Amino acid sequence: MNRLHQKYDKEVKDALIAEFKLGNKMEVPKISKVVVNTGIGDVIKNKEYGDQIKKDLSEITGQKAQVRPARKSVASFGIRVGQPVGLRVTLRGERMWAFLDKLFSIVLPRLRDFRGLPTSSFDGGGNYTIGIPEHTVFPEVDLIKSHPKGLEITIVIDGKKPEVKKRLLQLMGMPFTKE
């Protein structure tokens, strides 16, 4: 079991139950999945760069990246239906916990001028999305071979109350900005 997963089971659940006076452990929100996306529309014309980004994303997440095709044709962008425009990886279970542990403790502190994550990135359902300008901050990426691309990381949390979901991420070690 991953270090972050153990922390969730042994400390965070009990802290949330005490702080929000939840009835039982089943009311505690849990992280169900992490989705990592990147757009490859501009580099797909160069097959070498596209393959390298796919390889990098697979190494970062520990899981093979899925190529996402365009659903609509957009003439102004030169995109046709079915043309590859992005990569996606959905992480669950131990791979998800290992990725989050690496994200909180290694990757986010390596970002230039990092002062914490905004609390405004929660959507209406209480899921949290992080934008990373360059995927090269991950330790698995070879800086010489890689073409820097941005990543979008969405943490999907099961539960009902958004304030409890936010507190869950704080207790897990997500570095939010001071408000």
Which domains, and CATH codes, for the chain? Answer: 29-172 (3.30.1440.10)
63-84 as b/e: b if 16+ CB within 10 A:
bebeeeebeeeeeeeebeeeee
117-163 pLDDT tens trace? 998 888 888 899 999 998 889 989 888 888 788 999 999 999 888 89
% pLDDT > 90, the chain: 53
- Contact (CB, 8 A) for 138 and 152: no
Q: Other CB atoms closer than 10 Å to residue 163's CB: what's the count?
A: 10
Q: What is the pLDDT of residue 64?
A: 96
Structural tokens at position 149: 């691309």
Q: Other CB atoms closer than 10 Å to residue 16's CB: what's the count?
A: 22
Distance CA 156, CA 30 (A): 9
Q: How large is the average pLDDT for residues 63-67? A: 94
92-111 pLDDT tens trace? 999 999 999 999 999 998 88
Residue bearing the bigger pLDDT, 78 or 35: 35
% pLDDT > 70, the chain: 98
pTM: 0.91
27-61 pLDDT tens trace? 899 999 999 999 987 766 777 888 888 999 999 99
Distance CA 81, CA 73 (A): 5
Residues in the chain: 179
